[in-house]
Amino acid sequence: MEPIVNPTRTIEILKKHNIRLTKSLGQHFLVDKNILEKIINMSNLASDDVILEIGAGIGTLTEALIGKVNMVLAVEYDSKFFPILEENFKAAKNFHLIRADALKIVPKNLPLKPNKVVSNLPYNIASPLIMKILEEFIEVKELVVMIQKEVAKRITAKPGTKDYGALTLKINYYAEPELLFEVSKNVFLPLPKVDSAVIRIKRPLSPRVNVDNRKVLFNLISAAFSQRRKIIANTLSSFSVDKCMITKALLEAGIDPRSRGETLSLPDFAKLSNILGKLNFKKSQT
C-alpha cells in the first residue's frame, strides 16, 4: 500500500471518510514524500525517543515516525480524524492517540514523558503551542516543527531586523531556534495561501541568560515591542518606575536610552531586567 503522504492515498482516505476540511483549524496535508523524509532526517530520531506529535490529522507524519522511535504520542483535536488514526495504526504498539486540545494538555496526564516534539503544527496556534511546550514540558529537549514561513522568520530573526520581536526573544530565552528549510505551499493538499518552513528549537545544556525574575524579563520585552518605533526609554514609561530611574538603569546596563527595542539582544534585556527588578519594576495596573 502506498504511504499516506502520497497524494492519491491522501485523497482516498479523505473521500472514504467523507472528510470536509475545516479552514479555521488550518487543515492542509503534506503530500510530498521528499519533504517528509527531510523532516524525519533532520529530527535526529533515536529508537528510545518518545515523540509528541501535535496535529496528527490523518497520520501522514505519524506513519513516518512510528517505524523509528519508541513511542508516538499523537495529539488530535478534531474528532473526525479519530477513526482514521485508529484504523491506520491499530497494529502499531508504539502509537498512542490523545484526543485533546493541544493547548490544554499537561505533562502529568500523558502516559509517557516525551523528550522530543516532531510536528506539522496547526498554524493558527503555533506560537502559543511552542511557548507552552518550552514552559511546561521540561523533558522536551528538542522541537522540529513545520510552521508558517512568516512565523518561522520571526522566531529565528536577528536583532535589528524587521522580524525581530517579543516572540523571538521569549523563545530564545528558553532555547536556540534554527531555520532548517523553507517549504512551498505547492506540496500540500488542499493548497494553502501561505508558504511554510521547518525549524529546530533546541534547549541548551545551561540557561542562555541568567535572570533573577523571568516575569520581569517578559514584561520588559513586551513593553519594548508594544510600540516598536519608540525609543526604549519611552516604551518603558508604562511601568511604575520613575523615568529618571529608567534612564539610569539603561545606562547601568550599557544601553543607550535612545535605542529601540529591536536593536537589543537577549543578554541586553536580561541585564536590564535584573537591574530594574531590584527597583521593584512592576507593570502599572492603572
Alpha carbons 151 and 148: distance in angstroms, whole number: 5
Q: Residue 142: name the closest of 216, 278, 51 by CA.
A: 51
The one-letter amino acid code at 227 reads Q
pLDDT surpassing 70 at residue 276: yes
pLDDT value of residue 22? 65
pLDDT surpassing 50 at residue 286: no
- Beta partners for residue 98, in sequence order: 75
- Beta partners for residue 90, in sequence order: none
Residue pLDDT, tens place only, 20-68: 766 555 678 999 999 999 999 999 999 999 999 999 999 999 999 999 9
Any idea what DSSP says for residue 2? -
Q: Residue 112: name the closest of 65, 56, 72, 55 by CA.
A: 72
- Of all residues in the chain, the percent with pLDDT exceeding 70 is 94
- Mean pLDDT of all residues belonging to the chain: 92
Strands 116-120 and 188-189: unpaired
Banded pLDDT at 243 (limits 50, 70, 90): confident
pTM over 0.85: yes
Please give the full DSSP string across 61-118, using - where no structure is assigned: HHHHHHTTSSEEEEEE--GGGHHHHHHHTTT-TTEEEEES-GGG--GGGSSS--SEEE
Q: Which residues contact 158 (CB under 8 A, 6 or more apart)?
A: 164
Residue pLDDT, tens place only, 120-168: 999 999 999 999 999 999 999 999 999 999 999 999 999 999 999 999 9
Spatial contact of 40 and 68, defined as CB atoms under 8 Å apart: yes
Hey, what's the cell of 197?
518552513
Considering the domain 7-202 in this protein, what is its CATH number?
3.40.50.150
Q: Count the neighbouring beta carbons within 10 Å of the beta carbon of residue 179.
A: 15
Does the domain formed by 214-277 have CATH 1.10.8.100? Answer: yes
The least confident of 166-175, 205-214, 235-244 is 235-244
pLDDT surpassing 60 at residue 285: no
CA atoms within 13 A on the CB side of 176: 8
Any idea what DSSP says for residue 191? P
Report domain extents, the chain: 7-202, 214-277
Q: Which residues contact 29 (CB under 8 A, 6 or more apart)?
A: 10, 57, 58, 60, 188, 189
Scored b (16 or more CB within 10 A) or e, 196-234 reads bbbbbbebeeeeebebeeeebbbbbbbbbbeeeeeebbe
Alpha carbons 78 and 52: distance in angstroms, whole number: 17
